[in-house]
Structure 1
Amino acid sequence: MRQIPILCLPYAGAGATFYRSWPAPPAGVGIVALQPAGREERYHEDPYAGLEEAVEDLAKLVTAHAEAGPYALFGHSFGAILAYELARALHEADVPGPDRLMVSGSAAPGVPLGRHSADLDDEEFVARVEQLAGYVHPALADPDLREVVLPVLRADVGLHESYRPTGTKPLPVPITVFRGAKDHLVSAEDCRPWADLSTEGCSWLEFEGGHMYLAEDPVSVLNAMADSVAVRPLPERP
């Protein structure tokens, strides 16, 4: 029986290691951590200068999985925006789009973020990001790693804060919205408009914790991912 791959995109400044360090997922699903440019094994590449560049690059990473059969996309925070725009781009191209979109810790596209952090100096920027997320990126505590991570984090935050949706037509894919119940950055009200972006239905799941709830309890998130796929089993493609 083929495992359903769940392709995962990290939050701003993070890389694929965040998901690679998770425990094994439940039977029937596999976690595939997508690696954006500019981090970890792709550190020699420049971070994305624009959303179109990011989506074009990430689409190349998805293609092999998309052509093999059903799959789901998952993204957290800025990664959720990337997952949504990637799903939209794939559905508009000849590459099969995801059969389920899971978005986590993210206001719906078009909901104003109401913050501007990308142009702050380094110390203010790091403090502001940590204040907003309620989470300290481990690499920022190491001076050597900080020099590598900071440009990527700043680029991602800049893209997120300047983001405008590329379209408003609902996608033909069910959406599951994940959120930490104590997320002070993204409210339940911010998440509700996700329902307007799918013709196939939208469901909501809340977890204990704040904006970075999934770093605290990945097992619960993995189980919810598997359940989300199982609610409407992804169809085999002819």
Structure 2
Amino acid sequence: MSPIPILCLPYAGAGATFYRGWPAPPAGIELVPLQPAGREERYHEDPYTDLESAVADLSKLAAPYAEAGPYALFGHSFGAILAYELARALPAAGLPAPGLLVVSGSAAPGVPLGRHSAGLDDEEFVARVEQLAGYVHPALADPDLREVVLPVLRADVDLHESYRPADSEPLPVPVTVFRGAFDHLVTEEDCRGWADVSAKGCSQVEFEGGHMYLAEDPLPVLRAMAELVAARPLPERL
């Protein structure tokens, strides 16, 4: 049996390299990082300015995996919102729904974030993002890389802060919520609403660490994803 692909969406401003640098996952799953426009090998493309464009573009990247057999979706922070919207968009386009949606470090859709960071000047914006996330994006320390990363980060943060779900119909997909136990940005209460987005059940797993717990140690995350797939077997891929 081939491993189940976990299509991974990065947090605001990040690219697929975040996941590409992780250790090899346990047997049964493989990580497939999806690369949003405007970063890394797609740096020559404009970042997304609206969620519809983002989901349409990422759906094209996800479609071959959805067509090939069972798959799951995973996203952290803003990436969790993108994964959730992909879980809606792919079936709407006539493609199979994911067998599992794993959202990490994110309030449930419809929970207002209560912050407006995108309009700040560069120094204030970077300081605000670092304060909120408890994490310093490595590229922001390099003046040359900062010029490349900052417009993408601003665009993502603006989309995240202005996000409002267009559809509240529960997904026919089981949802699991990952959260750092000491996440000051996303509370346990913020996550409870994820139970309302699934008609197939919702569970929660906590990890040691804060909002960016998975950057500190991805191994527990990989093990948890493999355990989820093993506990809720998706149909075999031929």
Identify the TM-score tier after normalising by the shorter chain.
over 0.9
Match of 2:143 in 1: 143
- In structure 2, the residue corresponding to 1:75 is in which secondary structure? strand
SS of match in other structure, 1:102? strand
> What is the CA–CA distance in structure 2 between the aligned matches of 1:78 and 1:176, rounded to whole Å?
16
**Other structure's SS at 2:30 match:** strand
Report the equivalent of 2:50: 50
2:162 counterpart letter in structure 1 = S
Equivalent runs, 1:1-238 vs 2, <5 Å: 1-236=1-236
Identity between Structure 1 and Structure 2 (%): 80
Give, in angstroms, the shift of residue 90 of structure 1: 1.1
Contact 1:85 1:166 in 2 (8 A): no
Q: 2-side partners of 1:2 and 1:237: how far apart? A: 6
1:82-111 Cα deviation digits (max 9, x unpaired): 000111111222111211000000000000
Displacement of 1:237: 7.3
Q: Which moved more, 1:133-142 or 1:90-99?
A: 90-99
Q: Deviations over 1:62-99 (max 9, x none)?
A: 01111110000000000000000111111222111211
- Output one character per residue of 1:161-189: Cα deviation in whole Å (capped at 9) or x when no partner: 00000200000000000000000000000
Alignment check: 8 A CA contact 2:2 2:237 kept: no
In 2, the alpha carbon distance for the partners of 1:123 and 1:211 equals 22
- Provide TM-score, normalisation by structure 1: 0.99
* C-alpha contact (below 8 Å) 1:171/1:199 kept by paired residues: yes
Which residue identity is paired with 1:88?
Answer: R
Change beyond 3 A, Cα 1:215–1:237:
closer
Q: 2:155 and 2:124 mapped to 1: Cα distance?
A: 15
**How many residue pairs were aligned?**
238
In 2, the alpha carbon distance for the partners of 1:236 and 1:207 equals: 29
**RMSD (CA atoms):** 1.0
For residues 31-68 of structure 1, what are the alpha-carbon distances to aligned partners after superposition, in whole Å with 9 as ceiling and x for unaligned?
Answer: 00100000000000000010000000000000111111
C-alpha distance in 1 between matches for 2:201 and 2:83: 17
TM-score (norm 2): 0.99
Q: Distance in 2 between matches of 1:185 and 1:85?
A: 21
**Gaps in structure 1 of 5+ consecutive residues:** none
Q: Which residue identity does 2:56 align to in structure 1?
A: E
Q: Does the CA-based 8 Å contact 1:72-1:100 persist in structure 2? A: yes
Tell me the amino acid that sits aligned with residue 54 of structure 2: A
Shift of 1:236: 3.6
| Whole-angstrom CA distance in 2 between matches of 1:129 and 1:97 | 33
Deviations 1:171-210 (A, max 9, x none): 0000000000000000000000100110100000000000
Amino acid at match of 2:189: E
> 161-170 or 225-234, which moves further after superposition?
225-234
Q: What CA distance in whole angstroms lies between the structure 2 residues aligned with 1:69 and 1:90?
A: 13
1:203-230: CA deviations, max 9, x gaps?
0000000000000110000000111111
Task: Supply the distance in 2 between the matched residues of 1:58 and 1:84 (Cα, whole angstroms).
Answer: 12
Q: Any idea what SS the aligned residue of 1:5 has?
A: strand
